[in-house]
Structure formats: structure tokens, C-alpha cells
Amino acid sequence: MSGPDPVELSTNPFDDDKLHEECGVFGVFGNPDATALTALGLHALQHRGQEAAGVVSFDGQQFHTERHIGLVGDHFTKASVIERLPGDKAIGHTRYSTTGAPVLRNVQPLFAEFAAGGFAVAHNGNITNALTLQRMLQKRGSIFQSTSDTETLIHLTATSDRGHLVERFVDALRQLEGAYAIVALSEKKMIGCRDPLGVRPLVLGDLDGAYVLSSETCALDIIGARFVRDIEPGEMVIITEEGGLESIRPFIEQKPRFCIFEYVYFSRPDSIVEGTNVYSVRKSIGAELARESGMPADLVIPVPDSGTPAAIGYAQEAGIPFELGIIRNHYVGRTFIEPSDHIRHLGVKLKHNANRKMLEGKRVVLVDDSIVRGTTSLKIVQMVREAGAGEVHMRIASPPTMNSCFYGVDTPEKSKLLASRMSIEEMADYIKVDSLAFLTIDGLYRAVGETKRNAEQPQFCDACFTGDYPTRLTDRSNNTTVRQLSLLAEAG
């Protein structure tokens, strides 16, 4: 086999350089418990970003902010913290960094003091011309406080020659390329906006007359808010003190390209995304997978957590019993200290463990949603074999992930993606399975309700599978790279 250089592939179960979710944004306008509600909303959006979290509130006189490295639950549960963030308006953010290091100064919401007053911005997505714009703004005199792509938006708003805040903000957004779902807060307004392609999700809710904006509906559920509707691609909603909501469409209209990976992996299965329940879509994906590449077996076993709904769909369609053959420990955090080689060897079982009784002598189909670097598949297959499984067939509920995301998902560089380095046969050899199959791209489109992928005008962003990026990647073409923060010392 003319195999790839295995040195660059990680088999380290503690290696965290894989596909991470993105960011979560949330906001409440006009409720006396705005900060407590925002903290709860962020807790429900924790799966979208686990590096850092922040909240900005406004009490009618002043803005207040707390931003921390770490989980929402580490910093936003104490009454004393909530009391430090008074007001009936608040916005918040959970972060996985895509541009700019995971340090405190890049943690959102970002806040700026404009001539017209304070302004806070929380952003999910990634701006693909941010670094090019940053260089231009710096030449014009802008003094950046962070290396986050989101700060570019603040400077463009501040330096716009338009009149009111909303016009300046629109003027700034029009200069951005890439993906953004944004929740912003001024003294008098909360603004929600999705980029013209609507790559990232954003929904509107209502809590006893107070407007709520959230990345996903699961965060409306946690506070008992009613789901009103999606913010549409290219739509901006401006929520004002008088209780009104104005909707404008400030961008040139384009065909939407929602991120199809939200259905595969990112969104929580209990969320309604673009009108569809994510859990149902994942089950349909599993059923498609069974139709495309089913095979005789005794058991269908999910790779927990996110492979579970697809495995249920696969098992139901194939008529094969579904069993939990791998158990996941839910207390494994990202911050687990990298151990010594000796302990690392034991660490294979840190997150997952085989349920030996179920597996002994069985022909099993393992279902996972995706293979990124192959770390998970490699260790799971080994574990299932050691537990006595007779045959191990791996089925992946998405096409091979061959390209990096530039729209808000923290993906490893292309060269570290297993599928960009190996054919399916080579991957099967590498993870040591009896057979390996991925869902086809048309199968994925069918599962989300389309007849097939429209190659001329794809209905979704699927660039990590196809390489067909829906926007320009200016920073990448210009070879512009993110600079280090010059001053790094700061308290977390």
C-alpha cells in the first residue's frame, strides 16, 4: 500500500485537534432576569463552544460585562456574578475560536465605546476577509484590541461614514465575506442578523413579550421561551425598547447555503433547525446509509454521543437490533491534563468503554456521524475487537470530510483530515475494520429533504465534503495569516 505518512496522524486519545463545534450566540431584550436567562441559554448552547463564555448586559445607564475562559457553568452560575450584570437586556456567547487564539481578549461579546454609545457584538461564524480588512483598517489608524475576526466588524462600524448605528452596522456587514449569525446590543436596540447565505443558524423566540435571539431552539426551551421563527438568511431584525421588531433585508439577495454539517453533527438533536428537527434528520441519514451500504450483521452499535440518532435510523431501516455496545463517560473535559506515555496508553478508555457483554462473538455495524482525523474510529474499533466482536463494519453518516471549514468550525488543516490523505480502502485498513462505507452526498441531501444535490447551485454549504466553498476566501488567497497577540499577559 502506498500509504500516507503515518507520523502526522494522531492516535492519541487526548489529542483535541479535531473538528470542534462553532460558537453559540444568545440575547434577551426586556426581561428583568435578562442575565440569568442568558446564562441558562448559553448553558444550553454549551455544545457549540467550550473554550470561553461571556455576557454583556445593559441596565438603562451602563453596560456590564464578564468574559471568561472556560465553561458557562464554571463562571455564570453564582448569584454574585448574575448580580454584577444587572439590566433587562443581555447578550452572550460561547466560543470555539476560529480566528484569533483562545485568550481572554478574544472572548466575546466584544464591546466598543462608539460616539453614539456602547455597542456589544456576539458572533457565530468566521469572516474570510477579516485579516485583509484588519490590515486595511490598521493602516487607516484603527487600534485593534484583539486578533478576533469579529473585531473587524466593530472597526468598520465605528469608521463608517453613514448616519445612524444600524446604517453604519449594515455598511460594515456589507464589507464582510464569510459566515455570520450575530446578536448585537446597543443602549436602545438588540440586533440579530444572518449573512446573505444563512450559513449559520439564528432563531427568534418570545418570553412573555420579551424578544429572545438564539443560535438554536434548545436554548429557547431551557428558559421556557416560545419559538417564533428562524431569522432568514440575509435578514436583520432590529428590536427596540418600544417592544417593536423591525425586519430589513440590507444585502443583495442570494440563494441560501445553510451549513449541512449542522444537521450531521453540530446542532443539538432536540433543536429545530431551518424548520426541521435535527434528531429526525439524523435518523433519516442513518436510514439512507442502511439503504446505500447495509450489510448483514447481528447488532448496530452507535459511537456515542453524536452517532446515536443515525445508528437508530440505520438499525430501524436494516431491521437489525440496536444496542449500546460502547458506553461514554460524560465527565471527560477538554482540559484533561495530557498524561505521561504510560497513562496515555490507559487513556484509550477515558472517554469510551466497550460494553463487552453485548459484543462478544457478534458481527457489529458501528455507526458514527463523521471521521475527521480518525482518532475516534481507530480506538473504538480496537476496543470493540478486544471486547470480542467477530466482525466490525464501520458506517459513517456523512460523506468523507476532505476539506477544512472557513465558516466558523474549528477544523484541523486539510492535511490532517484522514479522508484527504487516504482512499476509503486505505482508511478501512488504517482503522482496521472489515468494511467501511460513507453516506453519499446525494444520500445526505435526500435525508435533509432534497431529491439530490443541485451541482449547479447547491442547496446547502457542503464545502467540507465537496470543496465547493460558497464565498470568496480572500484571506486564504492573499495568504494573510493571523498574527499573535502582541501583549498576551492577562488574567483568565
- At residue 70, what is the residue type? G
> Residue 193 catalytic?
no
Task: Give Cα separations from 144 to 66, 156, 393 (angstroms).
Answer: 20, 12, 51
Stretch that binds ligand SF4, among 92-100, 205-213, 415-423, 458-466 (CB under 6 A): 458-466
Long-range contacts of 160-165 (CB under 8 A, 24+ apart): 164/116, 165/114, 165/116, 165/119, 165/189
Least Å from the CB of residue 116 to ligand PRP = 42
Q: Using the minimum distance from each CB to ligand SF4, give the nearer residue, 14 or 258.
A: 258
Q: Among candidates 87, 260, 291, which has minimal Cα distance to 190?
A: 87
Q: Tell me the three cell numbers of residue 152.
A: 473587524
Catalytic residue among 9, 20, 22, 23: 23
Q: Map grid coordinates 435525508 to a residue.
A: 447
401 touching Mg ion, by CB under 5 A: no
Q: Out of 57, 217, 306, 401, point to the residue binding Mg ion (CB under 5 A).
A: 306
Binding positions for ligand PRP, 271-290, rule CB under 6 A: none
CB of 254 to ligand SF4, least distance (A): 15
Please identify, using beta-carbon distances, which residue of 25 and 260 lies nearer to ligand SF4: 260
CB of 430 to Mg ion, least distance (A): 18
Alpha helices in 197-307 (DSSP H): 218-222, 261, 278-293
Q: Which stretch binds ligand SF4 (CB under 6 A): 256-264, 434-442, 449-457, 483-491?
A: 256-264
CA distance 241 to 386: 62
* Minimum gap (Å) between residue 370 Cβ and ligand GLN: 17
Is residue 195 part of an annotated ligand binding site? no
405 assigned ligand-binding residue: yes
**Given 259, 285, 326, 384, the residue binding ligand SF4 (CB under 6 A):** 259
Helices marked H in 45-164: 72-75, 79-83, 130-139, 150-159
C-alpha to C-alpha distance for 66 and 89, rounded to whole angstroms: 14
Q: Do 187 and 117 touch, CB atoms closer than 8 A? A: yes
**Residue for grid cell 449541512:** 260
Residues from 32 through 91 that contact ligand PRP (CB under 6 A): none
Binding mask 199-238 toward ligand SF4 (x if CB under 6 A, else -) reads x---------------------------------------
Q: Please report, as ranges, the residues that interact with ligand GLN according to CB under 6 A.
A: 22-23, 95-100, 106, 108, 123-126, 148-150, 408
Q: Is residue 360 classed exposed, middle or buried when 0-12, 13-18 and 19+ CB atoms within 10 A define those classes?
A: exposed
Question: Annotated binding site for Mg(2+), which residues?
Answer: 306, 368-369
Catalytic residue list: 23
Q: State the residues that interact with Mg ion by CB under 5 A.
A: 306
